[in-house]
Each structure stands twice: as C-alpha cells, then as structure tokens.
Amino acid sequence: MKKLLAVLMSLTLTAALFTGCGSSGSSDSDKSGESAVSEDTGAAAGTDGGSADTASSADGTLRVGMEIGYPPLEYYDDDGVTPIGIDVELANALAEEMGVEVELIDTAWAGIFAGLDKGDYDCIISAVSITSDRLLEFEFSNPYIKNYQCIVTKTDASTKPASLDELKDLNVGYQEETTSDDYLNNYMAVNSLSVNTNAYAKVINVFDDLDLGRLDAVVCDSIVAESYVADGKFEITWQQGEDEETEEFGICMKKGNTELKDQINTALAALDENGTLDEIIHKYLPNMK
C-alpha cells in the first residue's frame, strides 16, 4: 500500500463493531514529543464526555483512545508506564503534523467504540480493522498498514497446524471481540469444525497461556504474531493467503466528523510522503517489506 500502503509484510503483517485488534504520542507546541496517558475511567481525564464533533478538544489536544496491551501496535515499555509501539508513535507523529498536542487514553477493547460514541476521545488508533460494518457506523482514515490472520504455536510444539482445518479438537486461544475471533468462529460454523476455543480479554494473556502449554495454538493478527515470533519461542504455522480479502488498519472517528477525518488523512499522507510512516513501522517490524 505504500506509498501509503504498499506496505506488505514478509511473514505478515480489528464483524460487527469489534476487532483485532485489537483493537495511540504527541507533539505539543514546542515539539517535546511527550504524551499524556489517562487510565480507562469511562471518560477521558479532563473532558466532560460530550460529543467529539470537532477536530480536537478545546485546548488543542487530540484525544486518542487505544487499548495499550497489543504489541507491537501499542503496549507499555519495560518501566510499565511508558506507552510505545507503532500506533503510539503514529499518534505522536500525526499530532505533530497537525500542530496539536495528544492525549492517549488507555481503554479496554470491549468498550472502545462505545467510548468514541460518547465523546470520551476524538479518535481510536488501536489496530482497528476497516470493515464494511464499521464503515456504516464510523468514519475511517485511509489505511496505514495491512494485516492477515494466522496460526501461531510454540516452536517446539509437537502439533503445528498448517491450516484452520488442522485446528480440529485442539485448544485454541484468541482475543475476544476481534477479527481473529470472528474469522475463526465463522470458519468453524461454515465448515462444521470442532475446536476447543478459548477467548481472552488481552492478547498478551493468550500468548502467556500458549507459552505455559495451556493452549495448542493461537489465532491472531499477523502483525502481532511477527512481534511474538521474533525471539524464536513461537512460530507462525499458517497465514491467510494474499489472494483472500485481507484487513487494513485505519484511524476510527465518530460518524460525521469529516473535518477531523480530512485533517488526519492530510497528515497521514504527509507522513507517508516524507518516510516517517515507513520508519515507524520498520522500527517495530524490521522484516516487513
């Protein structure tokens, strides 16, 4: 997709209103590069929960909702408090390009779209897949990265399913209310496939249980999988074919907020043109083509 998105992945790289994901820093006037992070309280800190029909809040801050627990898109650094990842750096870069500050609002995935509708934040940058259902309910920016569904096992696993059919009777985990959830369960229903499915609130917990041997395999986004297989502990045993209709991630906004949509698309195009988008993606996904 590049220039804005012929960004295709070498291994790799959220139907209703919930994804996979899964599902966002900043620049103030002096370009300090720092961003504020609010905990998920149902509304952004310092906001009244009103509608988000303007490009940013009254104080010139772009409020970004994200589930900070979805590496390599958005997660906390080793200190446990500093948000990092592709979407975090993208939010920072977009805000700088737009000339506003940014506030990251850590939000549980299960309520992230409801929070946008309530006006808790101006947009969601959190590995949100652009789907036909979501396009009926929300505004989306142009896509900024491609994604595929895949199967991951431990590298030393005795069973390594090379297709969805080979998940039969296995213990398989995925993050709930994501496109991975939809993809696997729709396939099971259509093909009468029996799988012992295990839904988790956080993708991190899915991989924890895979590592502990409580799961035989994980179905997840290829972008996430590439992050986990980097240290050699896990491997991708199957990936959705490029001939299938694959996912694209975009920035999600409240329906009708076309002013913000236009501003974000303009800033996103500038980041693509000057190479910043590629630089951010390859920092976390060095093997992506």
248/258 Cα distance (integer angstroms): 20
For residue 47, which amino acid is it? T
pLDDT grade for 176, boundaries at 50, 70 and 90? very high
Compute how many other C-beta atoms are within 10 angstroms of the C-beta atom of residue 202: 17
Chain segment 237-262, per-residue pLDDT in tens? 999 987 777 789 999 999 999 999 99
What would the two tokens of residue 88 be?
A: 């975090």
What would the two tokens of residue 268 be?
A: 């996103």
Chain segment 121-160, per-residue pLDDT in tens? 999 999 999 999 999 999 999 999 999 999 999 999 999 9
pLDDT grade for 218, boundaries at 50, 70 and 90? very high
Among 92, 90, 134, CA closest to 112: 134
Helix (H) or strand (E) holding 184: helix 179-191
pLDDT score for 206: 97
Say if residues 181 and 187 touch (Cβ distance below 8 Å). Answer: no
